[in-house]
Amino acid sequence: MKRQIPLAIVITLGFLFVIHTFVPHKISQDFYDWFQTWIKAISPFAVFLGVMSLFNVHRTKISRRVPNWQYSVITLIGLFFTAFAGFMWGTQEGTPYMWLFTNVQMPMSATMFSLLAFYIASAAYKAFRARSAEATVLLVAAIIVMLGQVSLGAAITKWIPETSRWILNVPNLAAKRAIMIGVGLGMTATSLKILLGIERTYLG
């Protein structure tokens, strides 16, 4: 029973939503909207699970004094202080919560994001080696596209930006679309497996 009931819910609702995509009728739309409100109502409860998990993991770390447990203390302080600031003074512009958001959260996120530039450089350095014929094609294409992006490319010859555009629009797009078709089919297959109860790992 522990498995049958959830499975029955999944299958019924799954088929209802499949029908919904083919039926534009008001009844079908209203059902969908009504369901959306349920999702909105349920998801906040999951936040508690998340917070509890975070709290438990770090509490255990602190109580066992595992190496680097001090970081956990900082995490928990961050968690509670931000929540406290939000509850205490609200989340409008000008409150401590917003201050934390704009002056701590945003720059830190931006920092992580900008690391991408460095990582791309080192990944490119490692990856683009003319090990084989295919790898050489990749290498040449990469260099042309990169040159096409900056004025140096156009300065060398006007064909570099042109070729760069061609590479992006023709071979690149073709491959991308092929992958997309595969992904679409894979998604459909997985969804169908779930609908038919073939795939149940997600039930735990």
179 binds another protein (CB under 8 A): yes
Q: Which is nearer to another protein, 8 or 158 (CB)?
A: 158
Residue from 4, 117, 132, 134 touching another protein (CB under 8 A): that is: 117
76's tokens: 């928990």
- In the complex, least distance from residue 155 CB atom to another protein, rounded to whole angstroms: 6
- In the complex, least distance from residue 131 CB atom to another protein, rounded to whole angstroms: 8
The rounded distance, in Å, linking the Cα atoms of 121 and 108 is: 21
- In the complex, least distance from residue 117 CB atom to another protein, rounded to whole angstroms: 6
Q: Helix, strand, coil: what percent of the chain each, to 5?
A: 85, 0, 15
CA angle 47, 51, 55 (to 5 degrees): 170
Residue from 16, 28, 31, 166 touching another protein (CB under 8 A): that is: 28
The rounded distance, in Å, linking the Cα atoms of 32 and 23 is: 11
The amino acid that residue 89 corresponds to is W
Contact partners, residue 20, CB within 8 Å, separation at least 6: 28, 31, 32
The rounded distance, in Å, linking the Cα atoms of 130 and 124 is: 12
**Binding track, positions 156-175, relative to another protein; x by CB under 8 A:** -----x------xx------
> Which residues within the stretch 56-85 sit at the binding site for another protein (CB under 8 A)?
56-57, 60, 67-68, 70-71, 73-74, 77, 81
> Which residues within the stretch 140-159 sit at the binding site for another protein (CB under 8 A)?
142-143, 146-147, 149-152, 154-155
Q: Which is nearer to another protein, 38 or 50 (CB)?
A: 50
The amino acid that residue 155 corresponds to is A
- In the complex, least distance from residue 133 CB atom to another protein, rounded to whole angstroms: 14
CA angle 43, 49, 50 (to 5 degrees): 90
133 binds another protein (CB under 8 A): no
